Amino acid sequence: MKNMEHKSSFKESTFVLVFLILIGFTGLSQHQNIPINYAISQKIEKSVLIAKQNVHTAIKPFQQTFIPPSSYASVFNDTGVYYYDFTVKLFQENLLNIEEDDVFLTADPLFNLVAGRTNYLDTTTSIYTNTRGVRVSGDITSKFSFETRYYENQFYYPEYLDSVADARGVAFGLGRAKKFKGKGQDVGMSSGYISYSPNKEFNIQFGQGKHFIGDGYRSMLLSDNSFNYPYLSLSLNLLDGKLFYKTVNAWMQTLERMPLSSSPEALFKRKSGSFHYLSFKPKKQLEIGFFEGIIYRRYEDSVGEIAVDPAFYIPIIGVGSGLYANNEENKVVFGINMNVVPVENVKIYGQFVMDDFSKTGFQIGGKWFDLFKAKNSWLMLEYNSAVPYLFTKSTEDIIQSYSHANQELAHPLGASFNELVVMAHFEKNRFFATAKYFYAQKERFGGSIYGENIFLPNDAILIAVASEKISWNYFGGELGLNLNIKTRMQIFGNAYNRSESGDNWSSNEWFWQIGLRTALNNFYYEQ
C-alpha cells in the first residue's frame, strides 16, 4: 500500500469535483499550473521583471490564468529548425499532442535515470535513481484544465540522505517509502488537479500537489519540500493585478499509525492545514504579501479521529490566527513576504515568520538576472535564519508540528539554524551550468537534535541546559544539455561535497552522478 491513506481525505472534498464537472463547458485557453521547478521559475520571474507586469511572483505554482502568455510561452517553446520527424518529436514537441475543436491534450513519459558513486568514511559505494512515470495534461474549452502525473521510484541515496530517509521512512519530497534491496528506498507518487477559471480574475482547483510561497530558493513560510497533499484552492486576481489572494485547504497526515483496527493496516493519524496569502503590488516594482498557516488537530489519542474545527473552512486570512491566538492545540504560523526591484534585472526579497506568536525566523536575499548580459543566467545570494524549536509543538500536541508525512512544510533544515545560500546559473544555446554553495550553523540541545528537529517536542526547552554547535557545508556544480524544452528533458552530470562537524566529531562525503531526466520538480538534497 503506497500512499493510499489519502482516500478518506478525498472523500471529504468529493463535492468539489462534482461541482466542477457540473459547471459545464463553454471556446479554448489554458489554465494549467506551471511546474514548481526553480530553474523554470527564474526564467518566468525574469520575463515578468523585464516586461514590468503585475504578476505576483511569490505564489507558486504559477498559474497560466494569471500570467500573460508572453511571460511563459518562450520558456516552453523551442523555435529551432529540425528536418526530421524524429528530431522534431525529440527536441520540440510533446510525445502525444491532440488538438480538436475545444480540446487540447498532451502526454509525455517522465523519468530520472541516474547513476553515480559516493565516498563516505573512505568507503566507495554506488548510488542511483530509477524513476519512471507519465504525465497527461490538457485543456477543455476556455475554462477547464487538468493534469495528472504518476511516478514509480527507487533510490540509493548518498549516506547523509540515506540515514535520514531510513529514520523517517520517507523518500525526500515523494512520501512514505519502503526498503528496496536492503539499502534503497522504493516509493510511488501521484499528483494531479482539475482547474476551473470562469474568468481571468478567479480560479478554483481541486487536486493533490504542493505549493510554495516566496521568491527564494528556500521558503520560511510554505515550501514544496514535503510530500503531495490533497487540496482545494481558490485564487483571486483583482484591481488589474494589484491585489492577489490565494487560499489553500489541505488534508494532511503524520506517518504514525492509529491503533490497529479490523483493517490490515491502520490509517495514519490525520491533521489538516489551511494556508492564506494576501499579496499587494502598489507598484510593479514592489510586492508585499501577508501569510497565515494553521495546522488543525484531527486526532486525539483518547478519542481517535475527530472532526476538523469549522474555522478550517473559513477562507479569510486572519480569522484562524485570531481565534487561536492563545490555543495550544493548533499550530499557528504567520508571516510577511516582500520583494522589490530597485534596478533593472535585480530583485531583492525577504520573509519574516512567527510561530505561535513567540518564535521567529527570517529570510533575506537577492537575484541578479542576465549576469554580465549573459542571457538566461542568474546569481542568487540568500540568508535564512530560524530560532530553536520553530515550527514544533509540545509533547501532547506534537502531531500538529508544521509538517506533513514526516517532512518539513517550510525550510528542510527544520529550525535552529543560520544558513547562507549562493547559487549561479548560466545557459548558452542548449547547454547549462549551475554552481551551488550552502553553509549553515546549527544548534542542538539536550544531547540530541532537540531544537533543530521539528518532530521533537518543544517542551524539551525545560530540560535542555546544554547545547552543541554544528557546522555544515554543501558545495558543487552541475553541467548539462537541454533536450526537450516541453518536459525539461536533460542529460546532466554533477559532483558535490557535503561535510558536517560538531564538538568532537566530523563527517565528509563526496559524490557524483550522471543521468537523463525530465526536470519538473524540486528536490532539496542540500540538507
Q: What is the pLDDT of residue 354?
A: 96
Q: What is the pLDDT of residue 465?
A: 61
Q: Select from 502, 230, 216 the least CA-distant residue to 338.
A: 216
Q: pLDDT (tens digit, 9 = 90+) per residue, 55-82?
A: 999 999 999 999 988 888 888 888 788 8
Query: Cα–Cα distance between 514 and 525 in angstroms, integer?
Result: 16
Distance of alpha carbon 372 from its chain centroid, rounded?
Answer: 30
**Is residue 4 over pLDDT 60?**
no
Query: Cα–Cα distance between 239 and 106 in angstroms, integer?
Result: 34
Instruction: Please name the amino acid found at residue 445.
Output: F
CB proximity list for 189: less than 8 A, separation 6 or greater: 3, 150, 151, 153, 174, 175, 227, 228
Q: Which of 19-23, 268-272, 321-325, 369-373 has the lowest mean pLDDT?
A: 19-23
- In this predicted model, which residue has the larger pLDDT, 366 or 52? 366
Cα within 13 Å of Cα(522), Cβ side: 28
Q: pLDDT (tens digit, 9 = 90+) per residue, 351-383?
A: 999 998 889 999 999 999 998 888 889 999 999
Q: What is the mean pLDDT of residues 138-165?
A: 94
Q: pLDDT (tens digit, 9 = 90+) per residue, 422-460?
A: 999 999 989 999 999 999 999 988 766 888 999 999 886
**Is residue 27 over pLDDT 60?**
no
Q: What is the pLDDT of residue 15?
A: 39
Q: What is the pLDDT of residue 101?
A: 84
Q: What is the pLDDT of residue 263?
A: 58
Q: Which of 36-40, 136-140, 287-291, 319-323 has the lowest mean pLDDT?
A: 319-323
Model pTM score? 0.92
- In this predicted model, which residue has the larger pLDDT, 160 or 122? 160
Provide the pairing of β-strand 202-209 with 170-171. unpaired
- Reduced to 3 states (helix: H, G, I; strand: E, B; else coil), residue 282 is strand
Confidence of residue 9 (pLDDT cuts 50, 70, 90): very low
Block residue for cell numbers 527544520? 414
Q: Average per-residue pLDDT in the chain? A: 89
Confidence of residue 258 (pLDDT cuts 50, 70, 90): confident
**Is residue 461 over pLDDT 80?**
no
**Is residue 90 over pLDDT 90?**
no
CB proximity list for 274: less than 8 A, separation 6 or greater: 247, 248, 249, 250, 292, 293, 294, 296, 311, 312, 315, 320
Q: Which of 91-95, 112-116, 193-197, 230-234 has the lowest mean pLDDT?
A: 91-95
| pLDDT > 70 in the chain, percent | 91
Distance of alpha carbon 267 from its chain centroid, rounded?
Answer: 25
Cα separation of the two ends of the chain: 28
Q: What is the pLDDT of residue 437?
A: 98
- In this predicted model, which residue has the larger pLDDT, 322 or 326? 322
Contact 217, 209 (CB under 8 A): no
Q: What is the mean pLDDT of residues 82-94?
A: 87
The Cβ of residue 226 has, within 10 Å, a number of other Cβ atoms equal to 25
- In this predicted model, which residue has the larger pLDDT, 257 or 57? 57
| pLDDT > 90 in the chain, percent | 71
Phi, psi of 49 (to 5 degrees): -65, -45
Q: What is the pLDDT of residue 29?
A: 57
Instruction: Please name the amino acid found at residue 402.
Output: Y
